[in-house]
Amino acid sequence: MKPIYHALVLNLHQPSGNLEELLRDREWEAREILLALDRIPRSLWDFEDVGRVHLSLSGTLLETLSNPEFQQHVYGIVKCGDLLWHWQNQRIFQILGTGYYHPVLPLIPADDREEQLSRWLGIARHLFSRTHFTGFWPPEMGFCMELIPLLKRLGYRYVLVDSNHIEPVDSMRWEEIRYRPHLARYGNEEIVVIVRDRELSYSQEAGMDTGWFMSEAHQRTQHCDFPPLVTTCSDGDNGGWFRNTSSKANFWGVFYQPLLELVRRKETEVQPIFIDDYLNLHGAHGYVRIREGAWNTGWHHGTGFVQWTGSQAQKDALVRITETSRAIHNLRQRASVHQNNAAVQHEIEQALWRLLRAETSCNFFWGEAWVNRCYQDLEAAWSFLAKTESALSP
């Protein structure tokens, strides 16, 4: 059997303070989420030889799980320290870089993108005891070509992009576009593009069994004259499929563990693999352009970011983010000559992180329901800006 390589990607994100709020108001939901997170390494302990999972972990989730007060609060549900330790197991997990506050990167000011990515690297390097992360997960898979130089400067080898936004520069067959890594160039920089299969990823999120997946992967790749890489990406802590505590009714017990049993017995052509290992073996081929867009959500196909920009209230909030960002970065530049003034630097930092938190995709994902949270952080940012202006005044 010719192998069909499978890269499994799970996105894990909780907005800042969300788990604490759920524990207070809807404890059952917080428990489901925490148990879903804890179930990931537990489901793979017996499959270190064949299990391969890529994890994207937002900075706000990592911040929550590593908070000693939160750890103590949920000790009877999960041991967060143990969970973070198990995620360090590089035999079964590859950690993907992302943005700290989980923003839709093309929708936020360019000056804030590096702040989001650098802050994630800061907490991830500390918690996972490593300096380098090779793969990048754009929050909500929101991507634009202008991000490529930034990703390369921060050391990323590849980026994951949804299949609906790929345009080959030269002629490519359908299966070649979907199941082969490519290269994308912007200016003088280029990066490897890993293509998410949208339909198979939707099935991964909604629920599928092992036999169906193997058959579907075979049918989709049967005309490949190269080793195919099937990449499926979904949230790993949302929906009943991932949150169900019964092994007879969740992703791990119904799909992934049975698949790994077949892999171990060499009874399937599907072979789990880390993306880096595939690239080391088979490389990337052909250039593509990537249209601006995100992954599909329950309400929208991702083109044009309408999920996050569809209403006037969402658009107005994004305009206010741009205005606030401009003011903060201008003030940072003016204050650069006051590096030794701890009070000034503190006020600017307080304004900046509230701006970055205001940019989280969740503030826009739910229509207008969470837009007020964006404004609350922006108002706080302007308050700290005013204090900084006062401190700088002669």
Q: Which residues pair with 143 in a beta bridge?
A: 293
Q: Shortest CA distance to 127 belongs to which of 198, 228, 175, 59?
A: 59
Q: Which residues contact 12 (CB under 8 A, 6 or more apart)?
A: 37, 55, 56, 57, 58, 61, 235, 236, 237
The rounded percent of the chain whose pLDDT value lies above 70 is 98
pLDDT band at 300 (very low <50, low <70, confident <90, very high): confident
Q: List pLDDT tens digits, range 93-141.
A: 999 999 999 999 999 999 999 999 999 999 999 999 999 999 999 999 9
* Length reported for the chain: 394
**Domain 4-290 carries which CATH code?**
3.20.110.20
**50 burial class (0-12, 13-18, 19+ CB within 10 angstroms)?**
middle
pLDDT of residue 340: 65
Strand partners, 189: 186
The amino acid that residue 225 corresponds to is D
CA 13/CA 126 separation, integer angstroms: 18
Residues 91/46, Cβ–Cβ less than 8 Å: no
Mean pLDDT confidence for 145-173: 97
Higher local confidence (pLDDT), 30 or 302? 30
53 phi and psi angles, rounded to 5 deg? -135, 130
pLDDT tens for each residue of 199-245 = 999 999 999 999 999 999 999 999 999 999 999 999 999 999 999 99
Distance CA 189, CA 165 (A): 20
Distances (CA, A) of 391 to 35, 162, 323, 339, 383: 47, 47, 21, 13, 13
Distances, alpha carbon 322 to alpha carbons 107, 111, 117, 355, 379, in Å: 9, 10, 18, 10, 13
d(CA 196, CA 178): 7
394: confidence class by pLDDT, cuts 50, 70, 90: low
Q: Where are the domains of the chain?
A: 4-290, 310-392
Tokens found for residue 165: 């936004």
How many whole angstroms separate alpha carbon 92 and alpha carbon 88?
9
Task: Tell me the per-residue pLDDT of 49-76, one tens digit each, with 9 for 90 and over.
Answer: 999 999 999 999 999 999 999 999 999 9
